[in-house]
Amino acid sequence: MENERLRALPGVDTLLHNDASADLLRTFGRPLTTTAVRQVLAESRAKLTSDALDRTPPSATELIERAASWLREQNEPTLHELINATGVILHTNLGRAPLSDEAQDAMLSVARDYSTLEFDIVSGKRSNRSIHTETLLCRVTGAEAALVVNNNAAALLLVLRALAQHKGVVISRGQLVEIGGGFRLPDVLNQSGGKLIEVGTTNRTHLHDYEDAILAIENQAALILRMHHSNFRIIGFTTEPDLPDIVKLGHKHGLPVVDNLGSGALLETTAFGLRHEPTVQESLSSGADVVCFSGDKLVGGPQAGILVGRKSFLNELRVHPLARAIRADKLCLAALSATMLHYLKDEVTQKIPVWRMISMSLSEIEIRSQRLADAIGGQIIPGQSTIGGGSLPTEQLITQLVVLPVPGVQSFTKRLRHRRIITRIQDDRVVFDLRTVPPSSDNMLISTIQQLLA
Ligand SMILES: *Cc1c(COP(=O)(O)O)cnc(C)c1O
């Protein structure tokens, strides 16, 4: 019986020669289609010999259909775009900062063709990839020199390795942070070969704590590091010396001061109703020798670690062997240059998506939300969008949310996810925050929700 049923299954060649396979062969090629056919045949064989109730051998058409869905599933890219309706602007899991049109174009053009990455058109000689971003970064921030690496974690590792290997890094206890993704400052410091010299306490560190530590270890300190708190705030009975005072102290003892800003605001955030976020320009004018920050947080550009500061230190970093291992690629440099141009042209809030979202007026959100609510039978309630990405942790922007009461909220949001729409659930209702949805996606969002509700 069993053998008979197995014999009734068509062979691999028969299935590949079936007319219905022609499309698959064209789309996926012979090797992949053959693998798929073998796979579904193996599954059928296993089923036919098992105790399963359904023991009718599948037809050739059925098998080819199964092979087709297997092929589609297996070859569907897992990294693809989606709609972020969560209201978290720099959502790390969703790719942080979306790029401006100009940054996308710049990336595409160097992706498609050969480029001047390390080539000087005038002399016809080899040049340096850092020139494409360095001048722009210096003009935007006022720094003497700049260097771009893979991300800010790498930037920090490079600074510590190049300037503090086998020596002490003086840092306040309140700044020994973990910023997520297993990135803890003490571990990074370990990797760099630098020695941690903690000063002060979790909530209070005074300038004399720094000085006492520096004097106590006599010439063993390499630098003072200031870390942005990133994703948390210490409130209450707290104190930390200001950067200019730390700089004065460091320089008095011949130590450079490195400021890791994390999110790297280049604009004054109070102008957008947010708390003051230390800017890169501020750190530099306070005298910090090296300032590092991410390219894809508040800068609103591609993933990158940006180092700016004094020429002498930047030059040391540039020639360090580790710099080669963590260098930025051409796509990143193209997108970052285009992003910096928005700052120079004073068109940040119009062009850079992150800042467009931060500065989006409540009335714009209201009009779009009303349209969405009307179309899907939702209601509007006031709510809060967040910056995210370890930036301005406790800060929220007033927004309007569209709430949709549906039976089975979990399964509904799962179906939305399958249609590449990510939402929040609040009080057992689906919640959409249009601040993080590009207005050009509103229609698509509406029609997808309508389809799911139908
Ligand atoms: C985000 C952040 C980093 C890491 O930056 P990446 O670009 O994600 O590598 C480091 N330090 C601080 C304070 C941060 O906020």
Domain end call among 298, 329, 348: 348
Instruction: Indicate if 104 and 51 belong to the same structural domain.
Output: no
Q: What is the CATH number of the domain that holds 306?
A: 3.40.640.10
Q: What is the CATH number of the domain that holds 380?
A: 3.90.1150.180
Instruction: Indicate if 335 and 279 belong to the same structural domain.
Output: yes
Distance CA 157, CA 190 (A): 10
Per-residue pLDDT of the chain (454 residues; tens, 9 = 90+): 667 788 889 999 999 999 999 999 999 999 999 999 999 999 999 888 876 666 788 999 999 999 999 999 999 999 999 999 999 999 999 999 999 999 999 999 999 999 999 999 999 999 999 999 999 999 999 999 999 999 999 999 999 999 999 999 999 998 887 777 777 888 888 899 999 999 988 788 889 999 999 999 888 999 999 998 766 667 777 888 999 999 999 999 999 999 999 999 999 999 999 989 999 999 999 999 999 999 999 999 999 999 999 999 999 999 999 999 999 999 999 999 999 999 999 999 999 999 999 999 999 999 999 999 999 999 999 999 999 876 666 678 999 999 999 999 999 999 999 999 999 999 999 999 999 999 999 999 999 999 999 9
Mutate to test the pocket of ligand 1, among 179, 191, 298 (most ligand atoms within 8 A of CB): 179
What stretch of H or E contains 404? strand 396-404
Instruction: Indicate if 202 and 340 belong to the same structural domain.
Output: yes
Instruction: Indicate if 318 and 221 belong to the same structural domain.
Output: yes
Instruction: Indicate if 372 and 426 belong to the same structural domain.
Output: yes
What total number of domains does the chain contain?
3
Minimum-distance ligand 1 atom for the alpha carbon of 96: 8
Domain end call among 323, 348, 373: 348
Pocket residues: Cβ below 6 A from ligand 1: 151-153, 179, 227-228, 230, 260, 262-263, 294, 305, 390
Instruction: Indicate if 365 and 392 belong to the same structural domain.
Output: yes
Instruction: Indicate if 152 and 244 belong to the same structural domain.
Output: yes
Residue of the CA atom closest to atom 13 of ligand 1: 262
The length of the chain in residues reads 454
Instruction: Indicate if 107 and 250 belong to the same structural domain.
Output: yes
- Rounded to the nearest angstrom, the distance between the alpha carbon of 400 and the centre of ligand 1 is 30
Burial track 301-320 (b if 16+ CB lie within 10 A, e otherwise): bbbbbbbbbbeebbebbbeb
Instruction: Indicate if 343 and 359 belong to the same structural domain.
Output: no
Domain end call among 348, 370, 390: 348
pTM for the full model? 0.92
Structural domain containing residue 22: 2-74
Instruction: Indicate if 370 and 436 belong to the same structural domain.
Output: yes
User: Is the distance from CB of 407 to CB of 322 less than 8 angstroms?
Assistant: no
User: Is the distance from CB of 314 to CB of 144 less than 8 angstroms?
Assistant: yes
Instruction: Indicate if 225 and 164 belong to the same structural domain.
Output: yes
**In the 8-state DSSP scheme, what is residue 435?**
G
Instruction: Indicate if 330 and 191 belong to the same structural domain.
Output: yes
